[in-house]
Every structure is written in C-alpha cells, then in structure tokens.
C-alpha cells in the first residue's frame, strides 16, 4: 500500500513529461530556501527560463517533437547543474532553476552556460531544431523574501530578456529594475 501512495505522491509533485518537480514541489523548495536564508543567512538565485519560439516548433513539427525538445532541454540544463541545485518545470516550456550563490556572477555564469547549451542544434525525429532561450534571474533575499515575489520578479526579468532580443539573460536588480546581459 505504501508503494502505491509513494507513486501517487510522486505523480502529484512531478511533471509527467520530464519527471522534474512541478509547480507544487517547486513552491515547497522555494519556501524552504527562503526559510534557510532567513535562518542561516546566505543567498540563492532563481533563474526562470523559457524557449524562444517553442510554439512555432510545436505547430510546425507537432507536439511529439515539442515534447522531445522539452526532454532534451531538460537533459542539457541538468548536465550543467550542481548536485544541490533544483530544476523544475512550471508549465509548457517554462523552467525554474534554484541555485545557492555566493555572488551574482555565479548565476550569470550558469545562465550563460544554459543559453549556450540550448543554442546548440537538437536532432529530433529526423529534424534539426534550432532554438534559443530567455532567462530571468532574481537574487534572494536581496530582491524578494516571499515566494510569490520571487516568482514574479524572475518572470519580470525573463520578460525583459525576451524584449531585449532573446537568447539572453536579465537580472532583476534592486530596486526591482531589470538589467540585461546580451550574449
């Protein structure tokens, strides 16, 4: 009986396609990370990324290719993560990476790695797919101390990256103004 409940719990808190934590588990991880920095000090960064032009790929090649692309993106991002980082899938082509940082440059370095790995062609179901990503970064607790603000600020920074030409990342810097770094 327990194994059935364990499987059910896993399905409730993980994305069915990628196996990554879903929004429910992500929110728990964010709450824990915020509590940890309140209690112990330190910082962490939240990187929100989505794929530029994902809808076009889904429409042109079909959802089965879009799903394969999401799986490959997941693998590429995971290959750049440290063991204590958390990657989650929010919905569609939106992902969140939570990472402990001592310096904002660590988040910038990670964002740059992610962008360069995603930019490499994907070979899926007989197609060579080219895609890029936009990444928004917020630092905690510098910019936010509650989960909803963290997610809203990472999203605002991501939107700024998209409007700055895509295939780039943008930091949300106090007092909550986006700052871009084009690649």
User: Which residues have a catalytic role annotated?
Assistant: 93
Residues forming beta bridges with residue 73, ordered by sequence position: none
H/E segment holding residue 118: helix 104-119
Burial class (CB in 10 A: 0-12, 13-18, 19+), 4: exposed
Q: How far apart are CA 126 and CA 65, in angstroms?
A: 10
The total of other beta-carbon atoms located within 10 Å of residue 94's CB is: 16
Non-local CB neighbours of 61 within 8 Å, separated by 6+ positions: 124, 125, 127, 129
Where does residue 46 fall: left (phi above 0), alpha (psi -120 to 50 degrees), or beta otherwise? beta
């Amino acid at each position: 009986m327990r194994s059935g409940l364990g499987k059910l719990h896993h399905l409730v808190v993980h994305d069915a396609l990628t196996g990554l934590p879903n929004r429910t588990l992500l929110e728990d991880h964010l709450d824990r990370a915020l509590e940890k920095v309140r209690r112990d000090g330190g910082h962490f960064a939240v990187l929100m990324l989505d794929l530029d032009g994902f809808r076009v790929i889904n429409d042109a090649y079909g959802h089965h290719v879009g799903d394969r692309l999401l799986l490959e993106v997941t693998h590429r991002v995971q290959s750049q993560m440290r063991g204590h980082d958390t990657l989650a899938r929010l919905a569609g082509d939106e992902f969140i990476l939570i990472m402990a940082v001592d310096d904002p440059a660590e988040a910038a370095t990670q964002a740059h790695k992610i962008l360069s790995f995603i930019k490499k062609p994907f070979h899926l179901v007989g197609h060579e797919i080219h895609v890029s990503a936009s990444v928004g970064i917020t630092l905690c607790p510098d910019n936010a101390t509650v989960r909803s603000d963290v997610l809203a600020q990472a999203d605002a920074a991501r939107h700024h990256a998209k409007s700055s030409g895509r295939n780039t990342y943008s930091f949300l810097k106090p007092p909550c103004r986006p700052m871009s770094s084009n690649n």
